[in-house]
Amino acid sequence: MNTRMITWTDGLLDSLNIPYLDSTKDAVNFMQSHKKEFVWNILSNFEKITASLPQTKDIILGKKVKGVQYGELIQIKEYAKGVDFIINLIEHNVFDQSKHILCCIHSCIASKEVSQEQLGRFRTWDVTLHKVKYKPPKHSLLDELWNESLKFNNIKNPVEQALIHFLNLSRTQFFYDNNKRTAMLYANALLITKKFDHFIYQLKITKNSYLI
C-alpha cells in the first residue's frame, strides 16, 4: 500500500447530505450570499482568528474595525478575495482540476503571507507540522503525488470527491503555507461546478448537517 496517499472507497460518505441545486448559477449565488460566513468559519477554525462574525462582515465590506489584529485583517481580506476568485473562474467556465488552477488559488490568497519565491508553486523544501508527529512528504515527491491524486477524480460521488481532495491536499502540504485554506476553496469549487452547495468546517458533526 502506498502510505504517502490517502486511500478511499466509494460510498464512505453517502450519509453526508450536501444539497444538490438546480444549476451551477444557483450554487454560485448561494456561495456569494454566504461568503462572509464562509470566510469567518474557515478562518476561525483553521487559523483560530479572534475576530467575530460581525467584525469579519464589516472587514469584508471595507469598513474600519477596531480591535482586530493586523494579521487577521489581512487573512480575512485575502480569503474573501479567494472566494471571489473561484467564483470568477466558475462563472467564466475556466475552473478545472489542474495543478495550474490550484496554484492560482494559492497565489490569490497567500500573497501577503508567503514569499514570492514560494507563492503559487509547490514547496521546494521539506516541512514539519507544529506539535504533530506526522511528517508531510518530501518536496521532491510532490509532483509525483499530485499526479497520483488525479485518480480521485474517478470517485463517482461529487461530494466524496471534493472531500477527499480537501483531505489529501491538506495532508500532503503541497505548499509552504495556506494549505488547508487553499484546499477548502479548491474542494468547494469542485462542488459548485457540479451544482452542489458549498460545505464548511466545524469540529463536531451534528445530525443532518453538511459540515465537515
Torsion sign, CA atoms 144, 150, 155, 160: positive
Which pLDDT score is estimated for 119? 97
pTM, two decimals, is 0.89
156: containing domain? 24-193
Residue 70's Cβ-count burial label (10 Å; 0-12, 13-18, 19+) is exposed
- Quote the pLDDT of residue 199: 87
Contact between 9 and 154 (Cβ < 8 Å): no
- Domain membership of residue 199 (yes or no) is no
SS (H, E, C) 63-118: CCCCCCCHHHHHHHHHHHHHHHHHHHHHHCCCCCCCHHHHHHHHHHHHCCCCCCCC
Q: For position 129, what pLDDT does the model report?
A: 87
What is residue 7's predicted lDDT score, i.e. its pLDDT?
Answer: 54
- Residue 195 pLDDT: 95
**Which cell goes with 165?**
481532495
- Backbone torsions φ then ψ of 93, nearest 5 degrees: 55, 40
8, part of any domain: no
For residue 200, CA distances in Å to 18, 43, 55, 72, 127 come to 11, 11, 19, 19, 27
The pLDDT, as a whole number, for residue 12 is 53
Secondary structure (3-state) at 172 = helix
Here the CATH number for the domain that contains residue 102 is 1.10.3290.10
In a domain, 38, yes or no: yes
Tally of structural domains, the chain: 1
Rounded Cα distance between 194 and 24, Å, is 7
Residue 192 C-alpha cell reads as 459548485
pLDDT of residue 37: 95
Residues in Cβ contact with 133 at an 8 Å cutoff, skipping those fewer than 6 apart: none
Cβ atoms within 10 A of the Cβ of 78, count? 19
Q: Name every residue whose Cβ is closer than 8 Å to that of residue 14 and which is 6 or more positions away in sequence.
A: 157
d(CA 49, CA 157): 33
The reply to whether 2 falls in a domain is no
Q: Is residue 200 part of a domain?
A: no
Mean pLDDT for back-to-back runs of 10 residues, the chain (212 residues): 49 66 95 96 94 97 95 98 98 97 98 94 93 92 97 92 94 96 97 93 45 40
